[in-house]
Amino acid sequence: MKSANVLLGVAAFCGLNIAAVAQLQLEPLWTLSPGDRPYLTTDNTQRGMDYNPVTGHLLVANRAGGLSVAILDATTGADLGSLDLGTGIITGGTFTGNMLGVANDGAIYLGNLTLNSTTTPFKLYRWANETAAPTLAFEGDPSAGIALGGNNSKRFGDTMDVRGAGTDTQVLLAARGGGDAAVLVTGDGANFVGYGIATDAGASASDNSSNIGLGVAFGEGNTFWGTALGRSLRHIGVDVGVSPFSGTTVGNFTDAEGVPVNVTLIGVDTSLGLLAGVELATGPDKVHLFDISSGTPVLLDTETLTVDNANLNGVGAVAFGDGKLFVLDCNNGIHAYQVVPEPSTYVLIGLGVGALWLVRQRKR
């Protein structure tokens, strides 16, 4: 992020077209394949991951051999230890820990997976930092008891996103079926309450999978992005005037709009106007980088993963952080990329700096 900002600053100073500088691409940084670490396997047990902006570390949730949350150096991939799970705190659910998110203040959140939050509560755990013990931040039905339609409409924990800090922290969840979602908010920064979001992104009542049940990410303001395996990418605006909240699709993007229908795992960087998505493909999966600053995804770059294992559940995580992109494609390890300007950008900047130098020389 720093390098991109510096380049943008130089370009603006030199009077260059900022749109040209904004053309970004992915440059491979490091890869950890299944088997490189005990917490990276091929048994569908690593699904949650996020970047900690306070420490510059990567957090990875793992269920192989028991629950753990690994801490990695985000620049090198080096192993730095794991979170303290406490004793008797993290319990319950189909999976006691599944998806993970980190707030802007470095607080870490881990959610369980429940197939029905009306009978088995969704639980959210919180660590104030990487050395703290966990606390229970939420327990119950994230949708606050509203009637969500369709099969699996109360299944929560397959996907999650976190934004904000302190009392402004928000946790976004999507129900696996029914097309609805929920947001958890807090008044004290530690204890959360849930609000349901009834959207128009629902599949048929008999469909076990919703249109947003496997990938969600906060967008600008009261919006979020959502998708699922074999479904289009949706941009949804949320009306928070009355509870339950309502969500309306403001953009629906398919193959025809340049977004492959099997883009399933997504992450968004609102500060850069970027969305990254993992396409579960025939052969190695692919990572696509899109410019979403206009509201319509524009493809910037595509990278093919170097590991080729099936991700039949369509699960994993995508995270941005400090000018980097991190991809956890379940059963395929972790892939880290630097988000950099394409080579032609450097040429334009060089020409601009050269022209500026000539102007200064002539004025002397």
Tens-digit pLDDT profile for residues 256-289 = 999 999 999 999 999 999 999 999 999 999 999 9
> What's the confidence (pLDDT) of residue 150?
62
Residue 5 maps to a domain = no
- Number of domains the chain contains: 1
Rounded CA separation 260/288 (Å): 9
Q: Is residue 355 part of a domain?
A: no
Looking at residue 3, what is its pLDDT?
Answer: 39
Q: Would 31 be classed as within a structural domain? A: yes
**Is residue 273 in a domain?**
yes
Q: What is the pLDDT of residue 328?
A: 99
Does a structural domain hold residue 362?
Answer: no
Range(s) of the domain holding residue 60: 24-341
Structure tokens at 39: 């917490």
Low-confidence ranges of the chain (pLDDT < 70): 1-22, 147-152, 203-209, 344-364
Q: Is residue 12 part of a domain?
A: no
Q: Compute, in degrees rounded to 10, the torsion defined by CA atoms 105, 110, 114, 119.
A: -70
Cα–Cα dist 347/155, whole Å = 51
β-bridge pairing 68-73 and 79-82 = antiparallel
Q: Is 23 exposed, middle or buried (0-12, 13-18, 19+ CB in 10 A)?
A: middle
Residue 137 lies in a domain: yes
The domain that holds 221 is classified in CATH as: 2.120.10.30
pLDDT at 210: 82
Are the C-beta atoms of residues 189 and 202 closer than 8 Å to each other?
Answer: no
Give the dihedral of Cα atoms 121, 48, 212, 157; nearest 10 deg: -10
What pTM was estimated for this model as a whole? 0.88
pLDDT score of 122: 98
Question: From CA 115, how far away is CA 282, in angstroms rounded?
Answer: 29
DSSP helix/strand/coil, 147: coil
The pLDDT of residue 7: 30
Residue 7 within a domain: no
